C-alpha cells in the first residue's frame, strides 16, 4: 500500500506543476486533485510509449515516472514559484483557527474519502476460497481488467494485443489498467494499486466537479451538492425498497445490513436501467473514473473561454503573477497566451483516446457547439483542436490499425435508449427521479434571476479581469447556452445507439447528468435559501435524488455482496500455468469472463462474448471453432494448428459450456492439474 501511495503522490506532484500553465487562480486542493489526474494520464501515456519500444519493466516505468515529474522544474521559476508559495500560504491559513465552517468543510471531504475507501475496497478481495468482488455489477468487469493488467505485467503484451481475442489490436482504452501494471513494476500489489488509484481518482473527481459547478453557477452550496448528486445518483427505487422492507420478516437493521438487491438497476423486464454512477460505472469502468475528471478539467477551460467577452482575451490570457508578466509567454514566446492555454488544454484532451474514448467524443460535440456559439473565439477553438489532434490522431491511427472492432456496429437508430417497452416519459422519471424537473426549474431561475456570475461568486473580480460583458449575449444566458450541448447528448442518446449494446450509451448519458448537475443543484440551493417550506422542499428533493443510489452504494461499501470470481483451484492452476507457459503462449479455454487463464496474463483465443460484442468484435466464427476443437478429432487438430494453440484448459467452465471430449485430450501431456482444473500441452 505504501508503494502505491508514494507513487500516486509523486505523479500528482508533476501534474500540480502543469496546472499553473493554464489555471492562474485555483486553490491548492483543486491543484492536487487536477494534478493527480493529469499526472496519471501523462504517466500512463508515457509508460505506453516507452513500453512499445522496450517493453514494460521497472526501468521503463521509472523512466516514465521521471518524465512525469519533469514539470516540477516549473515551480523553480520565478512566477510559478511565487504562485505556488501563495497557494501554500492560503492553504495553511485555511487550516488554522478552526471555525464551524472549516470543520464542516473538513468533514465533507473526509466523509467522502472514507466512503471511497470502504467502497473501492470491495472491488476485489481475496480469501482462502479464492478471489471475490463485493460489487454486484463488477462480476464480469473485474476479470476483464485483471486480464488486461496481468497481460502487461506477465504476458509481455507489447505492442498491446487483445488478451481476450488473440491476434487483434487491443483497441479498448487501457491506460487505467496499464497504470496499475506500471505501479506493480515498483513492487505494488495488484489489489493495492487498483485500490489506491480508484480512491485517488474518485476523490479528485469530487474536488474537480465541485469547483467546476462553482465556476458555472457561483453558488457554494450548489457546488457542494453536485458531487453527492453524482455519486449517489439514482431514481425512484427507494419506493420499492420500502415495499420490500415491509414485506420481509427480518428486523429493519438486519435487512439494511444485508440488502438483497440493487435499487437503481436490474435486468428483469421493466426494471431500473439508469444505475448508480459508483456501482455501475466508476467501480466497473476504471477508464471512465480516470477519463471523467480529465474531461472536466478541460471543460473548465472551455467554459472560461466561452464565458469571456473582452476583446483579445480568453479569460486565462491576462493571468499574471506579480511582476513576472504573462506566464505562458515564458514558454511560448510571442504566441498570445490565450491560444497557448487552449493548445495545452487540447493536448490534455488528446490523451483521451486510450483513456476513455467516449469522453473525447463528448468533448468534440461540446466544442462544436461552443465554436458556433462564439465564432469570435475561432482562434482559441482552432488552437484547442490543434492540440487535440497533435496527441489524439496518432493514438487513434494506432488503435484502429489491425483492430478487430467493426466501427459500423457503433451506430444505429434506436429510440428510447434502454427503456424497452416502457413509456419514455415514465422511464426517465422513474430512473432519474426529480432530476429533469429540477433542471428545468434551475434554468428558469438562472434566466429570470439574472445570475450570470459565470466565474464563481467573485463577479467584480471577473469583470475587472475580463472587461464588461458584451451586450450581444445576456450574462444570464451564458450558462444556458453552455448547457445546450449536454441536452443534445441526452437527445441523441435517446434516438440512436453508439455501441453494439444500447445500454453503453450510458457512457454519453453520464455526461448529460454531469452537465445537468449545476442547474439541479442551483435549484435546490435556491429552495434552501427560502425559509420554512423552501428548506423542507430542498431536503425532500435531495433525499429523492440520492436515496436509491445511497442504498446501492451502502450495499457495496457495507460488504453485503460477496460474489466469487475465481475459486482457490483456479488461482493455483493459474500460478502453475504462469510457470510452464511462455508469456506469449496461446490458450484454448471456454468463452467465459472468468477463465483461470485471465490470472496468467497469457492470451486466450477467445473469452467472454459479452465483452467482445460490446466492443464491436465479430466473434461468431471463433466461438464455433472453439466448440469444434473441444469436441476433439481430426477437425480439432487442424483448427489448433491453424490458430497456433499452445495449451488447452479443461475446468468447470469448459465442462458446463462447451462439454469437452476429455478422453480425446488425455493423449496430450498434462502441464497442470489442480482439483477440477487440467491444462494440456498440445504444441
Q: Where are the alpha helices (DSSP H) in 27-77?
A: 28-54, 58-69
Q: How many C-beta neighbours within 10 Å does residue 268 have?
A: 6
Residue 315 clears pLDDT 80, i.e. is over it: no
DSSP type of residue 161: B
Percent of the chain at pLDDT > 70 equals: 92
- Cα angle vertex 433, ends 283, 504, to 5°? 40
Query: Rounded to an integer, what distance in angstroms lies between the CA atom of residue 333 and that of residue 348?
Result: 21
- Residue 125: phi and psi, rounded to 5, are -150, 155
Query: Rounded to an integer, what distance in angstroms lies between the CA atom of residue 665 and that of residue 629?
Result: 10
- pLDDT value of residue 336: 54
- Cα angle vertex 578, ends 147, 161, to 5°? 40
- pLDDT value of residue 25: 86
Residue pair 626/658 in contact (Cβ under 8 Å)? The answer is yes
Percent of the chain at pLDDT > 90 equals: 82
Contacts for 88-95: CB closer than 8 Å, 24+ residues apart: 88/28, 90/27, 90/28, 91/27, 91/28, 91/29
Written as nine digits, the cell of 482 is 453552455
DSSP type of residue 470: P
Nearest to 578 by CA among 59, 150, 61, 132: 150
pLDDT (tens digit, 9 = 90+) per residue, 192-247? 999 999 999 999 999 999 999 999 999 999 999 999 999 999 999 999 999 999 99
Residue 468 clears pLDDT 50, i.e. is over it: no
- pLDDT value of residue 324: 35
Torsion of CA 42, 43, 49, 50, to 10 degrees: 150
Residue 7 clears pLDDT 70, i.e. is over it: yes
DSSP assignment of 183-219, as one string?
A: HHHTT--HHHHHHHHHHHHHHHHHHHHHHHHHHHH--
Residue 319 clears pLDDT 80, i.e. is over it: no
Starting from the edge strand earliest in sequence, which strands make up the sheet with 647-650, in order? 603-604, 586-588, 647-650, 677-681, 670-674
Nearest to 348 by CA among 677, 21, 98: 21
Which positions ≥6 away from 261 have C-beta within 8 Å? 244
- Residue 375: phi and psi, rounded to 5, are -65, -25
For residue 463, the surrounding DSSP H or E stretch is helix 459-466
Backbone φ/ψ region at 659: left (φ over 0), alpha (ψ -120 to 50), beta: left
pLDDT (tens digit, 9 = 90+) per residue, 359-409? 999 999 999 999 999 999 999 999 999 999 999 999 999 998 888 888 888
Residue 465 clears pLDDT 90, i.e. is over it: no
Written as nine digits, the cell of 239 is 419506493
Q: How many C-beta neighbours within 10 Å does residue 407 have?
A: 9
DSSP type of residue 276: -
pLDDT (tens digit, 9 = 90+) per residue, 149-183? 999 999 999 999 999 999 999 989 999 999 999 99
Gyration radius of the chain over CA positions: 26
Nearest to 43 by CA among 19, 11, 73, 13: 11
With b for 16 or more beta-carbon neighbours within 10 A and e for fewer, the 369-394 pattern comes to bbbebbeebeebbebbbebbeebbee
Query: Rounded to an integer, what distance in angstroms lies between the CA atom of residue 494 and that of residue 515?
Result: 17
Mean pLDDT of the residues in the chain: 91
Task: Specify the higher pLDDT residue, 185 or 445.
Answer: 185
Residue pair 449/210 in contact (Cβ under 8 Å)? The answer is no
Q: How many C-beta neighbours within 10 Å does residue 491 have?
A: 11
Q: Where are the alpha helices (DSSP H) in 55-156?
A: 58-69, 78-95, 100-120, 141-153
Amino acid at each position: 500500500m505504501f508503494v502505491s501511495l508514494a507513487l500516486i503522490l509523486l505523479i500528482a506532484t508533476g501534474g500540480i506543476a502543469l496546472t499553473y500553465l493554464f489555471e492562474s487562480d485555483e486553490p491548492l486542493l483543486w491543484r492536487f486533485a487536477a494534478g493527480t489526474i493529469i499526472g496519471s494520464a501523462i504517466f500512463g501515456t508515457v509508460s505506453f510509449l516507452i513500453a512499445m519500444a522496450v517493453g514494460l519493466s521497472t526501468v521503463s516505468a521509472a523512466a516514465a515516472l521521471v518524465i512525469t515529474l519533469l514539470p516540477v522544474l516549473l515551480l523553480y521559476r520565478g512566477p510559478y514559484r511565487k504562485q505556488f508559495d501563495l497557494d501554500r500560504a492560503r492553504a495553511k491559513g485555511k487550516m488554522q483557527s478552526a471555525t464551524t465552517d472549516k470543520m464542516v468543510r473538513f468533514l465533507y471531504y473526509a466523509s467522502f474519502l472514507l466512503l471511497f475507501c470502504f467502497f473501492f475496497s470491495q472491488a476485489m478481495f481475496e480469501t482462502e476460497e479464492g478471489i471475490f468482488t463485493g460489487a454486484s455489477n463488477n462480476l464480469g468487469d473485474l476479470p476483464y481488467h485483471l486480464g488486461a493488467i496481468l497481460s502487461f505485467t506477465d504476458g509481455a503484451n507489447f505492442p498491446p494485443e487483445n488478451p481476450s481475442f488473440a491476434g487483434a489490436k487491443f483497441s479498448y482504452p487501457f491506460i487505467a489498467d496499464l497504470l496499475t501494471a506500471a505501479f506493480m513494476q515498483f513492487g505494488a500489489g495488484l489489489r493495492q494499486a487498483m485500490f489506491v488509484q480508484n480512491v485517488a481518482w474518485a476523490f479528485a473527481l469530487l474536488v474537480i466537479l465541485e469547483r467546476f459547478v462553482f465556476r458555472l453557477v457561483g453558488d457554494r452550496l450548489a457546488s457542494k451538492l453536485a458531487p453527492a448528486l453524482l455519486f449517489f445518483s439514482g431514481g425512484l427505487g427507494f419506493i420499492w425498497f420500502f415495499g420490500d422492507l415491509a414485506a420481509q420478516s427480518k428486523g429493519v437493521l438486519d435487512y439494511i445490513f444485508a440488502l438483497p438487491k440493487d435499487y437503481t438497476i436490474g435486468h428483469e423486464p421493466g426494471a431500473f436501467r439508469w444505475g448508480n454512477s459508483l456501482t455501475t460505472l466508476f467501480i466497473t469502468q476504471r477508464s471512465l473514473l480516470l477519463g471523467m475528471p480529465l474531461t472536466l478539467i478541460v471543460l473548465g477551460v472551455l467554459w472560461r473561454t466561452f464565458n469571456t467577452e473582452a476583446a483579445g482575451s480568453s479569460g486565462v490570457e491576462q493571468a499574471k503573477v506579480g511582476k513576472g508578466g504573462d506566464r505562458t509567454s515564458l514558454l511560448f514566446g510571442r504566441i498570445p497566451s490565450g491560444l497557448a492555454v487552449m493548445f495545452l488544454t487540447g493536448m490534455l484532451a488528446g490523451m483521451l483516446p486510450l483513456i476513455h474514448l467516449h469522453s473525447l467524443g463528448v468533448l468534440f460535440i461540446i466544442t462544436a457547439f461552443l465554436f458556433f456559439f462564439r465564432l469570435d473565439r475561432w482562434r482559441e477553438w482552432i488552437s484547442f483542436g490543434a492540440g487535440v489532434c497533435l496527441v489524439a490522431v496518432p493514438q487513434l491511427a494506432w488503435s484502429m490499425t489491425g483492430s478487430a472492432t467493426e466501427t459500423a456496429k457503433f451506430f444505429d437508430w434506436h429510440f428510447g435508449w434502454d427503456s424497452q417497452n416502457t413509456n419514455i416519459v415514465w422511464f426517465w422519471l422513474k430512473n432519474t427521479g426529480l432530476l429533469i424537473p429540477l433542471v428545468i426549474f434551475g434554468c428558469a431561475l438562472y434566466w429570470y434571476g439574472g445570475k450570470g456570475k459565470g466565474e464563481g461568486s467573485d463577479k467584480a473580480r471577473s469583470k475587472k479581469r475580463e472587461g464588461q460583458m458584451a451586450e450581444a449575449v445576456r450574462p444570464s444566458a451564458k450558462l444556458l447556452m453552455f448547457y445546450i450541448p449536454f441536452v443534445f447528448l441526452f437527445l441523441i442518446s435517446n434516438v440512436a445507439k453508439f455501441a453494439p449494446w444500447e445500454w453503453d450509451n450510458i457512457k454519453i448519458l453520464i455526461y448529460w447528468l454531469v452537465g445537468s448537475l449545476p442547474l439541479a443543484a442551483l435549484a435546490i440551493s435556491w429552495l434552501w435559501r427560502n425559509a420554512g417550506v423552501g428548506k423542507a422542499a430542498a431536503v425532500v428533493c435531495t433525499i429523492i435524488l440520492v436515496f436509491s443510489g445511497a442504498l446501492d452504494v451502502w450495499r457495496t461499501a457495507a460488504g453485503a455482496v460477496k460474489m466469487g470470481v475465481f475459486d482457490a483451484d483456479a488461482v493455483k492452476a493459474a500460478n502453475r500455468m504462469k510457470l510452464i507457459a511462455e508469456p506469449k503462449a496461446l490458450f484454448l479455454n471456454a468463452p467465459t469472463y472468468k477463465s483461470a487463464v485471465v490470472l496468467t496474463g497469457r492470451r486466450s483465443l477467445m473469452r467472454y462474448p459479452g465483452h467482445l460484442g460490446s466492443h464491436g468484435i465479430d466473434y461468431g466464427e471463433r466461438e464455433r471453432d472453439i466448440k469444434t476443437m473441444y469436441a476433439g478429432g481430426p477437425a480439432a487438430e487442424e483448427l489448433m494448428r491453424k490458430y497456433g494453440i499452445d495449451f488447452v484448459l479443461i475446468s468447470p467452465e469448459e465442462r458446463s459450456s462447451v462439454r469437452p471430449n476429455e478422453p480425446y485430450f488425455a493423449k496430450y501431456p498434462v502441464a497442470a492439474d489442480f482439483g477440477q482444473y487440467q491444462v494440456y500441452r498440445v504444441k
